[in-house]
Amino acid sequence: MSIGAIDTSRIEAMVAQLKTAAARASPAGANPIGEGTPQQQKVAGVSEFHSILKTSLDQVNQVQHQSTALAQRFEMGDSTVSLSDAMIALQKSSIALQSTVQVRNKLVSAYQEIMAMGV
């Protein structure tokens, strides 16, 4: 069992992955206003939101399973897994879960505001 020092290139790679994920989540790929009928835009917006939400939840689930598996491999004495790899994976999964919870909280808050509006 080798416990290696934290490699800065791994941290930089993780930051690059986080930036890529943030870029994928941005609304840059959203349908521009004026394309199609309002009904088509509404259906496309709902299905797009649904697919984005499902994809992000699946990614969080996958990250958590991978980090758990990596931590278990380290605990079992796998010499190919270092402590820093296991800890970084666990932190990535923790951050992913925390951000998912924050997004959920914002969605619930927005829903409550909309429901409180008078028509």
Tokens of 37: 């009928």
100: pLDDT strictly greater than 80: yes
Distances (CA, A) of 35 to 29, 31, 46: 13, 7, 15
pTM to 2 decimals? 0.57
Residue 70 belongs to some domain of the structure? yes
Q: Which residues form the domain of 103?
A: 36-116
- Say if 24 falls within a structural domain: no
Residue 29 lies in a domain: no
Confidence of residue 20 (pLDDT cuts 50, 70, 90): confident
Question: How many whole angstroms separate alpha carbon 27 and alpha carbon 10?
Answer: 28
In a domain, 75, yes or no: yes
Residue 71 in domain: yes
**How many domains does the chain contain in total?**
1
Beta-carbon contacts of residue 74 (< 8 Å; ≥ 6 apart): 1, 81, 82, 83, 85, 86
The model's confidence at residue 13, banded by pLDDT at 50, 70 and 90, is confident
- Whether residue 93 is contained in a domain is answered as yes
Q: Summarize the confidence of residues 76-94 as an average pLDDT.
A: 92
Contacts of 15 (CB under 8 A, 6+ apart): none
User: What DSSP designation does 29 have?
Assistant: G
